[in-house]
A and B are shown apart, each in its own frame.
Chain A
């Protein structure tokens, strides 16, 4: 039912010349959940985000955001969405507070509530003490916090976060996770794209793994892992010749493997009995991710 879905995409297609960036994508985001779009660079995550704000017009497919049909009613949908893009587009010549003020206007916050909304966003970004500073004086983490707070200034029902922590220190990343988690617990619907596995695993209720513009698997992270990678993984280290050997043996035994740079991971060795020495570890989302989106870098 479409009124319980914040986002509904059915067979969305977006082509750029000879490149098909989004290739028949189906995506459901139920109200009140956090859905993670997980995929390698170039999988079509950012294009999907642009489709949702009608900054890209699909070549085919049905799109609905908060019950509004896109692209024709996109403006009404955008009024209730908050967007934090991957590339920082804050006004660097303006102060922190002025950036929020501009968006309080752009999102049509009532005159009487504007002040309060700006204060709330400042608090959320923990930038009250930097309100008068120009944005180009802020650190990378502060800028990203401001970028997200700017998207929340009007208390949107749906928030689109495109790679919210890309290029940030682990400490800053954790800080942002806390912010996103707080938002989630307030019941805001979130669609977040990321290529950080850990991020998806921690924050998303459901993950959609994308590859070449399509969804290749979806479900709660733990279920995806169980379904595609089993419970345990055997990680075998050794010289390249040995690894090739191990890989061939595993293939013979009907087990799937993936290279992890210095080692070979053998998936689905649940229980015992596999006769190779190695480190056993729980299967994780990264195993699923590499398995489904391929090992080769394009």
Chain B
């Protein structure tokens, strides 16, 4: 009798494997949560103050909202992006290249698919929490509470999962840290600006508006705004669908990219 007859072949995406990777992240987080919470709170506050009061003095209302409300809801997506795509890109690269953490994890009963999924789940959860901070700050500046706000962590989580997978994918394809510059300048910055965060896309030329419709960040911005001020039925359902599709596709590509990187 060989061992493979005694115990069943282990499956895919097993909970103990995901838990193992998540435990590592949670334990690690306990040593750096102060700094990361500080930066993810202070950054949106600065955006709000700068744009809210800077621009707010020039434009009092935009698209039917007070400007501080417009920016306060829009920067939720910014916070999600900054707490998911960036840590995923840099963290993944550091963990496989410099700390060789992933080598250690993959020698244990964990597959690349589980590793990537657990890392993305963790980053998404953080993004779900940190994503709400700008909204809370905006509330301090006069944004009225609403029931829809309760769905904002979920929206932030979903978008965060997609962007985390995006970051892991980039780290998987990158051969050095310098490669990230291209991604940040050529992909993230434009997407960040044509997301409808600081100004509505309707101000932009037609091509930029079309670009906006394929920008996951834009869907996140709109969903959050509608969650706070009132959902728009089918349109928002389509936006959720777009974010789900974005997350699923990038999840699979991220796994593929990391498999190429981690398994010789």
Find out whether the CB atom of A68 lies under 8 angstroms from the CB atom of B24.
Answer: no
Instruction: Contacts A3-B2, A75-B10 given; indicate if A102 touches B263 (C-beta within 8 A).
Output: no
Find out whether the CB atom of B264 lies under 8 angstroms from the CB atom of A73.
Answer: no
Q: Mark A76-90, 1 if CB is under 8 A from B, else 0.
A: 101101010101011
Q: Return chain B residues, CB-CB under 8 Å to A106.
A: 17, 20-21, 23-24, 105, 108-110
Q: Return chain B residues, CB-CB under 8 Å to A93.
A: 28, 31-32
Find out whether the CB atom of B3 lies under 8 angstroms from the CB atom of A91.
Answer: no
Find out whether the CB atom of A101 lies under 8 angstroms from the CB atom of B27.
Answer: yes
Taking each of B9, B23, B27, B107, which has the highest tally of chain A beta carbons within 10 Å of its own beta carbon? B107
Q: Return chain A residues, CB-CB under 8 Å to B32.
A: 93
Find out whether the CB atom of B264 lies under 8 angstroms from the CB atom of A55.
Answer: yes
Considering the complex, give the chain B residue whose CB is closest to the CB of A76.
Answer: B10
Q: Mark B89-103, 1 if CB is under 8 A from A, else 0.
A: 000000000011101
Residues in B216-234 with C-beta less than 8 Å from chain A: none
Residues in A205-261 with C-beta less than 8 Å from chain B: none
Q: A290 at interface (Cβ–Cβ under 8 A)?
A: no
Taking each of A56, A67, A69, A81, which has the highest tally of chain B beta carbons within 10 Å of its own beta carbon? A67
Instruction: Contacts A78-B107, A78-B109, A94-B31 given; indicate if A3 touches B24 (C-beta within 8 A).
Output: no
Considering the complex, give the chain B residue whose CB is closest to the CB of A92.
Answer: B99
Q: B104 at interface (Cβ–Cβ under 8 A)?
A: yes
Find out whether the CB atom of B264 lies under 8 angstroms from the CB atom of A16.
Answer: yes
Q: B106 at interface (Cβ–Cβ under 8 A)?
A: yes
Considering the complex, give the chain A residue whose CB is closest to the CB of B10.
Answer: A75
Instruction: Contacts A55-B107, A79-B109 given; indicate if A73 touches B23 (C-beta within 8 A).
Output: no
**Number of residues from B at the complex interface, CB < 8 A:** 34
Instruction: Contacts A75-B109, A107-B108 given; indicate if A102 touches B1 (C-beta within 8 A).
Output: no
Q: Return chain A residues, CB-CB under 8 Å to B31.
A: 93-94
Q: Mark B1-45, 1 if CB is under 8 A from A, else 0.
A: 111101101100000110111011001100110000000000000
What's the Cα separation between A207 and B118 when bound, in Å?
A: 40
Q: Mark B119-156, 1 if CB is under 8 A from A, else 0.
A: 00000000000000000000000000000000000000
What's the Cα separation between A78 and B110 when bound, in Å?
A: 9
Q: Return chain B residues, CB-CB under 8 Å to A263.
A: none
Q: Return chain A residues, CB-CB under 8 Å to B103.
A: 55, 85, 87, 89
Find out whether the CB atom of B99 lies under 8 angstroms from the CB atom of A89.
Answer: yes
What's the Cα separation between A99 and B263 when bound, in Å?
A: 23
Find out whether the CB atom of B264 lies under 8 angstroms from the CB atom of A68.
Answer: no
Considering the complex, give the chain A residue whose CB is closest to the CB of B22.
Answer: A105
Q: A195 at interface (Cβ–Cβ under 8 A)?
A: no
Q: A185 at interface (Cβ–Cβ under 8 A)?
A: no
Considering the complex, give the chain B residue whose CB is closest to the CB of A56.
Answer: B264
Q: B262 at interface (Cβ–Cβ under 8 A)?
A: yes
Q: A98 at interface (Cβ–Cβ under 8 A)?
A: yes
List A residues at the B interface (Cβ < 8 Å).
Answer: 2-3, 14, 16, 47, 50, 53-57, 66-69, 72-73, 75-76, 78-79, 81, 83, 85, 87, 89-94, 98, 101-103, 105-108
